[in-house]
Amino acid sequence: MKTVYDFVVKDRKGNDVSLKDYEGKVLLIVNTATGCGFTPHYEPLEAMYKEMRDKGFEILDFPCNQFANQAPESDDEIHEFCTLKFGTEFPQFAKIDVNGETADPLFAYLASEKPFEGFGKGLKNAALNKFAAANNKKYGDKTYIGWNFTKFLVNREGIVIARFEPTVDMEDVKMAVEAAL
C-alpha cells in the first residue's frame, strides 16, 4: 500500500528530501501562497506547530503560484516573508505546481486519497468556488487542489486521513490534528 513516505520532494535549496524522514509523525501538508487572502493561516499554523511539534507533529509547507499568481517570489523570498511576517519555523519546501500536467506527484497522490468536495456553504464559499473554477478550468481532470492553503492531515503510518479546504475553520483543523496525535 502506498503512503506519503513513498515520495521524495525538493527542499527550497533544490535538494531531495524523502518523506520517509517524517515517518512516525503526524503531518499537515499544505500548499501555500504569500499574496492570498488565506495567507493569515500561517499564524494559526505556526501556533499549532509550536504547541504540538514536541508530540510528533510536523507541518510541511509547499508554496504554489498556480492560483491567480499569488506566490510569484523566489523560494528564498517566500521563506523570508514567512519567517519575518509570521515567525514560521516549520519546514518549507521548493515552490511547486499542484494542478495540471506539471503537478507534483505528492499532491496528485494526496488529492486522489482525499478528493475535493467543495468549499462549503455560504456566500464567501460560493464566491471562492466560482473564482477557483474559473482559475482551475485550464487543468481539466488534473485539477487536484481547489485553492491555496488546502491542508492534508496524515497519520503516523503515512496514511491521508483528512482534507481541509482553506475555508475550514482553523480550530477544526487543530482539533483534528490533536485527535491524530
Q: Which residues are catalytic?
A: 36
- Of 148, 24, 181, 2, which is closest to residue 78 (Cα–Cα)? 148
Q: What is the 3-state secondary structure (H, E, C) of 104-153?
A: CHHHHHHHHHCCCCCCCCCHHHHHHHHHHHHHHHHHHHHCCCCCCCCEEE
- Of 100, 93, 45, 91, which is closest to residue 71 (Cα–Cα)? 93
Check if the beta carbon of residue 26 is closer than 8 Å to that of residue 153: yes
